[in-house]
Amino acid sequence: MSEKKHIISMLVEDEPGVMTRISGMFARRGFNIDTITVGKTNKPGISKIVVTLIGDDSTLEQVEKQINKLVDVTKVSEMGSGIIRELCLIKIKTPNKKVKDELFDYAKVYKAKFVDVDHRSMTLEIIGVPEKIESFIEMVKAHGIIDISRTGVTAMSRGIINN
Protein backbone atom coordinates (compact mmCIF):
# COMPACT_ATOMS: atom_id res chain seq x y z
CA MET A 1 0.00 0.00 0.00
CA SER A 2 1.22 3.49 -0.75
CA GLU A 3 2.39 5.80 1.99
CA LYS A 4 0.97 9.27 2.20
CA LYS A 5 0.56 12.11 4.62
CA HIS A 6 -2.42 11.96 6.95
CA ILE A 7 -3.74 14.63 9.27
CA ILE A 8 -5.57 13.49 12.37
CA SER A 9 -7.45 15.85 14.60
CA MET A 10 -8.52 14.88 18.11
CA LEU A 11 -10.36 16.43 21.00
CA VAL A 12 -8.80 15.62 24.34
CA GLU A 13 -9.34 16.26 28.03
CA ASP A 14 -7.22 19.22 29.08
CA GLU A 15 -5.28 17.31 31.73
CA PRO A 16 -1.62 16.95 32.62
CA GLY A 17 0.11 14.21 30.70
CA VAL A 18 -2.29 14.01 27.76
CA MET A 19 0.40 14.90 25.22
CA THR A 20 2.65 12.23 26.75
CA ARG A 21 -0.08 9.63 26.44
CA ILE A 22 -0.58 10.43 22.79
CA SER A 23 3.04 10.83 21.74
CA GLY A 24 3.95 7.80 23.86
CA MET A 25 1.40 5.65 22.06
CA PHE A 26 2.80 6.75 18.69
CA ALA A 27 6.38 5.99 19.71
CA ARG A 28 5.53 2.65 21.30
CA ARG A 29 3.67 1.34 18.31
CA GLY A 30 6.23 2.58 15.82
CA PHE A 31 4.11 5.30 14.21
CA ASN A 32 6.08 8.34 13.13
CA ILE A 33 4.69 11.71 14.07
CA ASP A 34 5.55 14.34 11.50
CA THR A 35 4.10 17.29 13.39
CA ILE A 36 1.96 17.72 16.48
CA THR A 37 0.15 20.82 17.70
CA VAL A 38 -2.07 21.43 20.69
CA GLY A 39 -4.27 24.26 21.92
CA LYS A 40 -7.40 25.06 23.86
CA THR A 41 -10.83 25.00 22.22
CA ASN A 42 -14.08 26.86 22.78
CA LYS A 43 -15.22 24.05 25.09
CA PRO A 44 -13.89 24.39 28.65
CA GLY A 45 -11.62 21.53 29.65
CA ILE A 46 -11.22 20.31 26.08
CA SER A 47 -8.12 20.81 23.94
CA LYS A 48 -7.49 19.97 20.34
CA ILE A 49 -4.44 18.09 19.15
CA VAL A 50 -3.59 17.85 15.46
CA VAL A 51 -1.07 15.25 14.34
CA THR A 52 0.38 14.69 10.90
CA LEU A 53 1.97 11.39 10.05
CA ILE A 54 3.13 9.46 7.05
CA GLY A 55 1.81 5.98 6.49
CA ASP A 56 -0.39 3.70 4.41
CA ASP A 57 -4.11 3.28 4.90
CA SER A 58 -3.80 0.37 7.31
CA THR A 59 -1.37 2.36 9.47
CA LEU A 60 -3.85 5.20 9.54
CA GLU A 61 -6.64 2.84 10.57
CA GLN A 62 -4.56 1.39 13.42
CA VAL A 63 -3.50 4.87 14.55
CA GLU A 64 -7.10 6.07 14.69
CA LYS A 65 -8.22 2.97 16.60
CA GLN A 66 -5.36 3.17 19.06
CA ILE A 67 -5.95 6.89 19.69
CA ASN A 68 -9.63 6.16 20.24
CA LYS A 69 -8.69 3.74 23.00
CA LEU A 70 -6.99 6.47 25.01
CA VAL A 71 -9.40 7.44 27.74
CA ASP A 72 -8.48 11.13 27.59
CA VAL A 73 -9.37 11.36 23.91
CA THR A 74 -13.02 12.16 23.29
CA LYS A 75 -13.07 12.37 19.48
CA VAL A 76 -10.80 11.46 16.58
CA SER A 77 -11.18 12.38 12.93
CA GLU A 78 -9.07 12.26 9.84
CA MET A 79 -8.88 15.62 8.07
CA GLY A 80 -8.82 14.54 4.48
CA SER A 81 -10.15 17.72 2.87
CA GLY A 82 -10.28 20.24 5.68
CA ILE A 83 -8.65 23.61 6.12
CA ILE A 84 -4.99 23.01 6.78
CA ARG A 85 -2.62 25.68 8.05
CA GLU A 86 0.84 26.00 9.45
CA LEU A 87 2.74 29.07 10.65
CA CYS A 88 6.44 29.50 10.02
CA LEU A 89 8.86 32.13 11.29
CA ILE A 90 11.95 32.43 9.17
CA LYS A 91 15.01 34.61 9.78
CA ILE A 92 17.08 35.41 6.72
CA LYS A 93 20.47 37.15 6.25
CA THR A 94 20.12 40.49 4.49
CA PRO A 95 23.66 41.69 3.68
CA ASN A 96 22.53 44.25 1.07
CA LYS A 97 19.60 46.11 -0.40
CA LYS A 98 19.33 43.76 -3.36
CA VAL A 99 18.52 40.84 -1.08
CA LYS A 100 16.06 42.93 0.91
CA ASP A 101 14.25 43.97 -2.25
CA GLU A 102 14.08 40.41 -3.41
CA LEU A 103 12.60 39.35 -0.08
CA PHE A 104 9.98 42.07 -0.37
CA ASP A 105 8.98 40.66 -3.73
CA TYR A 106 8.76 37.09 -2.49
CA ALA A 107 6.85 38.17 0.57
CA LYS A 108 4.27 39.83 -1.62
CA VAL A 109 3.76 36.70 -3.72
CA TYR A 110 3.58 34.41 -0.66
CA LYS A 111 1.62 36.89 1.46
CA ALA A 112 4.35 36.66 4.09
CA LYS A 113 4.62 39.36 6.76
CA PHE A 114 7.76 41.04 8.06
CA VAL A 115 7.76 40.72 11.83
CA ASP A 116 11.30 41.76 12.73
CA VAL A 117 14.06 43.65 10.97
CA ASP A 118 17.60 44.66 11.91
CA HIS A 119 20.69 45.69 9.95
CA ARG A 120 21.71 42.21 8.93
CA SER A 121 18.54 40.17 9.02
CA MET A 122 14.83 40.09 8.44
CA THR A 123 12.26 37.77 10.03
CA LEU A 124 9.16 36.82 8.12
CA GLU A 125 5.99 35.13 9.16
CA ILE A 126 4.31 32.93 6.61
CA ILE A 127 1.05 31.06 7.02
CA GLY A 128 -0.36 28.36 4.77
CA VAL A 129 -0.34 24.72 3.88
CA PRO A 130 3.01 23.04 4.59
CA GLU A 131 3.75 22.79 0.86
CA LYS A 132 3.52 26.58 0.50
CA ILE A 133 5.89 27.08 3.41
CA GLU A 134 8.33 24.57 1.99
CA SER A 135 8.27 26.27 -1.39
CA PHE A 136 8.95 29.64 0.26
CA ILE A 137 11.87 28.19 2.20
CA GLU A 138 13.21 26.80 -1.07
CA MET A 139 12.98 30.28 -2.67
CA VAL A 140 14.91 32.10 0.06
CA LYS A 141 17.37 29.34 0.91
CA ALA A 142 20.08 30.77 -1.29
CA HIS A 143 20.23 34.00 0.77
CA GLY A 144 21.17 32.14 3.92
CA ILE A 145 18.58 31.15 6.45
CA ILE A 146 19.62 31.87 10.05
CA ASP A 147 16.73 30.18 11.81
CA ILE A 148 13.35 28.59 11.21
CA SER A 149 10.49 27.94 13.64
CA ARG A 150 7.49 26.02 12.38
CA THR A 151 4.37 25.37 14.42
CA GLY A 152 3.32 22.18 12.74
CA VAL A 153 -0.03 21.72 11.13
CA THR A 154 -3.37 22.63 12.60
CA ALA A 155 -6.61 21.86 10.84
CA MET A 156 -10.36 22.22 10.82
CA SER A 157 -13.17 20.70 8.79
CA ARG A 158 -14.98 22.81 6.20
CA GLY A 159 -18.53 24.06 6.70
CA ILE A 160 -20.64 22.79 9.55
CA ILE A 161 -21.48 19.33 8.24
CA ASN A 162 -18.60 17.58 9.94
CA ASN A 163 -19.02 19.32 13.26
Partner 1 sequence: MEAKMKGAEAIIKTLCKQGTNVTFGFPGGAVIPLFDKYLDYSDKINNILVRHEQCAAHAAEGYARASGKVGVCIATSGPGATNLVTGIMDAYMDSVPLIAFGGQVPTGLIGNDAFQETDMMGITLPITKHNFQIRDPNEIESIITKAYKLALEGRPGPIYIDLPKDIQVKEITKNKNEVKIRGFSPTVEPNTAQISRAADMMMKAEMPLILAGGGVIASNASKELKQLAEFTGIPVVTTMMGKSCFDENHPLSLGTVGMHGRKIANYATLQTDLMIAIGCRFSDRITGNLESYLEFAKLIHIDIDPAEIGKNVKADLPVVGDARRTLSSLVVALRNKKWKEKKEWKENMTVLGKKCDKCIELKAGKKIFPKEIVTEVNKLLKKGDIITTGVGQHQMFAMHYLRMGSPRTFISSGGAGTMGFGLPAAIGAKVAKPNNNVFCFDGDGSFQMTIQELETIRSHNLKIVPIIFNNSFLGMVRQWLELFHDKRYSQVHLGNEIDFVKIAKAYHLDGITVERQSELPDAVKQSINADKTMVVDVKIEEESNVLPMLPPGGHLKEAFGVCMKSPGKFV
Chain-centre distance of CA 124, in angstroms?
Answer: 17
How is residue 31 annotated by DSSP?
P
Q: Does 163 bind partner 1 (CB under 8 A)?
A: no
Minimum distance from CB of 14 to partner 1 (Å)?
A: 11
Stretch touching partner 1 by CB under 8 A, among 19-27, 80-88, 106-114, 147-155: 19-27
Q: How far apart are CA 145 and CA 141, in angstroms?
A: 6
Beta-bridged to residue 84, according to DSSP, are 155
62 in contact with partner 1 (CB under 8 A) = yes
Least separation in angstroms between residue 28's CB and partner 1 is: 5
Q: Is 105 in the site for partner 1 (CB under 8 A)?
A: no
- From residue 17, alpha-carbon distances to 12, 65, 100, 107, 126 in Å are 11, 20, 44, 39, 31
Can you tell me whether residue 139 is helix, strand or coil?
helix
The answer to the question of residue 58 lying near partner 1 (CB under 8 A) is yes
Distance in Å, CB of 20 to partner 1, minimum: 7
Residue ranges in contact with partner 1 by CB under 8 A: 12-13, 17, 20-21, 24-25, 28, 58, 61-62, 65-66, 68-74
